[in-house]
C-alpha cells in the first residue's frame, strides 16, 4: 500500500465511522481565493486562510513549477495553476486575491488585481520602489477595492493591547523605538542544481539581490516600521543608515546586516537593527516612553514601569506629607542602585484572552471585511507608510546619507 492510498483510506474510515456533527457551523458566504505567488510566505498565508470557515483556494499563479505540488498538498486537492496572472484574474470563480509574489512584482500584480475589482490581501512590503508605492496606492484607491496589507502583527492580540496602553499614556510619552530582528542564518533558500546562468538562484533567492530586494530593512524592517508608525501615528520623515556584508560573502548584493535610524516629527526616532550572525536578541520591539517601556515580540508583550523620581505638584496638604511632618522620618541605612538601574525585575507580562497566530487573525479579519462585516484595519495607507520608508531605505543604507521619505500624493 503506498502512502497516498493509506491516507485516503484513513480519511474514508473517519467518514464512515465517526459521528459527524453537521449543521453546527452556521453557513457563511464562501470566499474563493486566487493566489499570485505561492512560495513560502504565500503558502503560510494560504494555510491560515484554510483555517477560516468557508474559504477555499481555486487557482494559483506561480512561475516556479514545484509550487504546484506543494499547494496541492497544502490544500488537499488539485488546484488549477497558471504562470500568467492575467489568466488567473480572468477566471470567474475567484472572489478575492492573495498576492505573495516577490516584492519587485507587487506593483504589477496588485495593480492588475485592483483593476479586476477583487478584494486583495497583499503581502508586505506594499511596493518595491517609491514609484511602485505611489502607483499601488493610486490604483487601489481609484478602483475602490478592499486592500489589506500583510502586516500581521497589527492583528496580534498582545501587540494591540500593548499599543492601546501606550496610546493611553501608561508609559508616558513614547519617544524612541528600538527594533531588532537578529537571526543566525544565511537567509538562503535551497536551489536545485544544475542552475546554468544562475536563473534559479535569482528566482528563489530574490531577497539577496539589490535589483529585486530591499534587503533586511524591507523584508524584516517593514514590520517594525509599520509598528512604529502605529505607535507614533505617522510615517517617518527621513532615514539615515548603513549596511555591509560581514559574514556571507556569497555573491549577494544586499547587506547581511543593516542599521537604520528613522526620524519622526518632534525628534522621535525609530532605531532598526538587523544582523544575521547572532540570534540572541531575536525579534524585539522596544517602545521607550518617559514613564516606562513596552517590549513587543512575535509571541508576547511585557510592560515595565519606571519609578517616578519627583513630583512638581505641591503636596503639603496630602495625607502622606502631613504624616511625615507630624511624626518625622525614621532613620535607616540603605543603598540602592535603583536610581541608575530602575528596570531590574521581570516586568509585567501583558495577558490577553487570545494567543492566536497573528497571520490567522489577520486573514480572518480580511475575510470578514470581504463579507462586509467591518472595515479593514491594516489598509493600503498603512501599507504605504511603511513601504515608502523601506523603498527609501534600500538606497539610503548604501548611500549612508540622510534621505527624505516622501508622503502619499493623494
Contacts with other proteins by CB under 8 A lie at: 1, 3, 6-7, 10-11, 13-15, 17-22, 24-25, 44, 47, 50-54, 66, 73-77, 185-186, 188-193, 250, 299, 355-357, 360
Q: What are phi and psi of 31, to 5 degrees?
A: -125, 115
Q: What CA–CA distance (Å, rounded) separates 208 from 201? A: 10
Q: What CA–CA distance (Å, rounded) separates 285 from 59? A: 37
Residue 84 DSSP label: -
Q: Which is nearer to other proteins, 323 or 355 (CB)?
A: 355
Task: Give one DSSP letter per residue of 220-232, joined into a string.
Answer: THHHHHHHHHHHH
Q: Which is nearer to other proteins, 55 or 177 (CB)?
A: 55
Q: What CA–CA distance (Å, rounded) separates 155 from 88? A: 29
Q: Which is nearer to other proteins, 301 or 387 (CB)?
A: 301
Q: Which is nearer to other proteins, 39 or 383 (CB)?
A: 39
Residues 255, 240: contact at Cβ < 8 Å?
Answer: no
Annotate 101-155 with three-state secondary structure. CCHHHHHHHHHHHHHCCCCEEECCCCCCCHHHHHHHHHHHHHCCCCEEECCHHHH
CB of 14 to other proteins, least distance (A): 5
Q: Which is nearer to other proteins, 169 or 251 (CB)?
A: 251
CB of 386 to other proteins, least distance (A): 23
CB of 203 to other proteins, least distance (A): 14
Q: Where is 380: in which H helix or E strand? A: helix 380-399
CB of 373 to other proteins, least distance (A): 17
CB of 34 to other proteins, least distance (A): 18
Q: What CA–CA distance (Å, rounded) separates 347 from 375? A: 35
Q: Which is nearer to other proteins, 48 or 148 (CB)?
A: 48
Helix (H, G, I), strand (E, B) or coil at 58: strand
Q: Which is nearer to other proteins, 192 or 345 (CB)?
A: 192
CB of 66 to other proteins, least distance (A): 7
CA 339-161-391 angle, to 5 degrees, is 90
CB of 179 to other proteins, least distance (A): 21
CB of 110 to other proteins, least distance (A): 26
Q: Which is nearer to other proteins, 197 or 340 (CB)?
A: 197
Q: Which residues of 309-338 are buried (b: 16+ CB within 10 A; e: fewer)?
A: eeeeeeeeeeeeeeeeeeeeeeeeeeeeee
Amino acid at each position: 500500500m503506498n502512502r497516498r492510498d493509506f491516507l485516503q483510506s484513513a480519511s474514508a474510515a473517519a467518514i464512515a465511522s465517526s459521528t459527524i456533527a453537521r449543521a453546527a457551523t452556521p453557513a457563511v458566504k464562501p470566499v474563493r481565493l486566487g493566489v499570485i505567488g505561492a512560495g513560502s510566505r504565500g503558502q503560510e498565508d494560504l494555510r491560515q486562510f484554510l483555517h477560516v470557515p468557508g474559504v477555499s483556494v481555486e487557482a494559483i499563479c506561480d512561475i516556479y513549477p514545484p509550487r504546484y505540488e506543494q499547494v496541492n498538498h497544502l490544500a488537499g486537492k488539485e488546484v488549477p495553476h497558471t504562470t500568467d496572472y492575467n489568466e488567473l484574474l480572468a477566471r470567474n470563480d475567484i472572489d478575492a486575491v492573495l498576492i505573495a509574489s516577490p516584492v519587485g512584482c507587487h506593483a504589477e500584480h496588485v495593480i492588475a488585481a485592483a483593476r479586476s475589482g477583487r478584494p486583495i490581501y497583499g503581502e508586505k512590503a506594499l511596493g518595491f520602489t517609491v514609484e511602485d508605492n505611489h502607483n499601488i496606492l493610486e490604483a487601489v484607491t481609484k478602483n475602490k477595492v478592499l486592500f489589506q496589507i500583510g502586516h500581521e502583527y497589527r492583528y496580534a492580540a498582545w501587540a494591540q493591547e500593548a499599543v492601546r496602553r501606550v496610546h493611553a499614556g501608561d508609559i508616558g510619552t513614547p519617544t524612541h523605538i528600538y527594533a531588532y530582528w537578529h537571526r543566525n542564518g544565511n537567509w538562503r533558500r535551497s536551489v536545485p542544481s544544475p542552475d546554468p546562468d544562475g536563473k534559479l538562484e535569482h528566482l528563489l533567492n530574490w531577497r539577496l539581490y539589490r535589483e529585486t530586494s530591499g534587503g533586511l530593512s524591507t523584508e524584516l524592517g517593514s514590520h517594525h516600521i509599520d509598528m512604529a508608525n502605529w505607535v507614533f501615528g505617522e510615517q517617518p520623515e527621513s532615514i539615515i543608515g548603513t549596511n555591509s556584508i560581514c559574514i556571507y560573502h556569497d555573491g549577494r548584493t544586499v547587506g547581511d546586516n543593516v542599521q537604520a535610524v528613522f526620524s519622526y516629527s518632534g525628534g522621535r526616532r525609530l532605531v532598526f537593527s538587523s544582523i544575521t550572525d547572532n540570534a540572541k536578541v531575536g525579534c524585539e520591539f522596544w517602545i521607550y516612553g518617559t514613564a516606562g517601556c513596552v517590549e513587543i515580540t512575535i509571541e508576547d508583550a511585557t510592560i515595565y514601569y519606571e519609578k517616578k523620581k519627583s513630583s512638581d505638584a505641591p503636596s503639603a496638604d496630602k495625607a502622606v506629607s502631613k504624616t511625615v511632618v507630624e511624626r518625622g522620618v525614621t532613620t535607616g541605612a540603605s543603598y540602592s542602585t535603583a536610581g541608575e538601574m530602575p528596570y531590574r525585575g521581570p516586568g509585567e507580562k501583558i495577558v490577553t484572552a487570545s494567543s492566536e497566530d497573528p497571520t490567522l487573525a489577520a486573514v480572518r479579519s480580511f475575510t470578514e471585511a470581504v463579507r462586509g462585516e467591518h472595515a479593514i484595519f491594516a489598509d493600503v495607507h498603512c501599507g504605504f507608510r511603511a513601504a515608502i520608508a523601506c523603498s527609501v531605505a534600500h538606497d539610503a543604507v548604501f548611500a549612508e546619507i540622510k534621505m527624505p521619505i516622501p508622503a502619499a500624493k493623494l
